[in-house]
Structure 1
Amino acid sequence: MKDSQLIPLLPLEEYQRRRRRRESSIPEVWDLLDAVKDPEIPVLSIWDLGVLQDIKKNGNELLVTITPTYSGCPAVDVMKEDILIALQKSGYVNSRVESKLSPAWTTAWMSSEGRKKLQEYGIAPSKHSNTGIQCPHCNSMDVAVISEFGSTSCKSLYRCKACSEAFDYFKNI
């Protein structure tokens, strides 16, 4: 079936990102970078978060492209450094990391495995709309927003009325 005949279930950019990984001539590098975690949410790899966009080999140089969750994300420099360290430890000494802001990152790029990891870590994963938020501790839907800003700008702070626990909700972006 041709790509033009597929019914889109993912944003086009996410489909293309997955396709770049699936069809890559250097899958071992993608697998290697699965070990690089988001410094703010260490249970999420940069792939699961949707930040890792592409890896290209140009001669003897590797170019890794990432899209930060937002343009002012303070974790992006740490991510770049962690990527370079992981590559260097595996013998890829001629590497660079490039940030790409367009198209803008969206929570739709987060993997289903990443959403599951967030829930297990105690952060409510984003929904398609900011309604129906579920407590990651007791699964109650009886929650209230405390603040539109949580531990980071991409999260809101909620409190569960059932178990009284506070938790972050990863905003739908």
Structure 2
Amino acid sequence: MDNTEISQFGISLKYCRELNDNMSQRALGKALGVSGGSISHYENGKQPTLELAQKAADFFDLTLDEFLNIVDKNTNQELVEKAKLKSRYKQDIKQAGDKAGDKAGDIYTKSDNTSHKEGNSYEIEALRKSLEDKERIIASLEQRITDKEELNKMLRNEVDRLKKELQGYKSSE
């Protein structure tokens, strides 16, 4: 990445992070496998590896080129919305998984206080239910992502159709 892209990376990283409910540098760092301090350094111009730049773009469900072109509120609104929605759904899925894991942990702790035989069957059933809940939540969120993608595709097609129609009017004048 050349120097222009490096500074562009920091600008895009910060803007996409802030688009997503002012996600903390620490939270984004955790998602990308680096520290919050590293995110700060990247946002202030530190050169990322190509691998990290791609990870960041993937996290916001953008191509690297799209990611590097998101700089501010005047950026292509379709890209901005895409970055906001996809990462928010990913966070929802992660939070749902964390909650299900916490619930299973609580149940496991409670089962330690029952008799060993009762605890095992109770524990297994509770973990199974927790896993089923997690799977339902993930399926629901994945469906919401698919619905948004289909809506975006329909809107893009409609915009393209209107552009062609407008070009037809201009050429007939």
TM-score by length of 2: 0.27
Q: Which has the larger radius of gyration?
A: 2
Instruction: Determine which structure has the larger strand proportion and give its number.
Output: 1
Instruction: Determine which structure has the larger helix proportion and give its number.
Output: 2
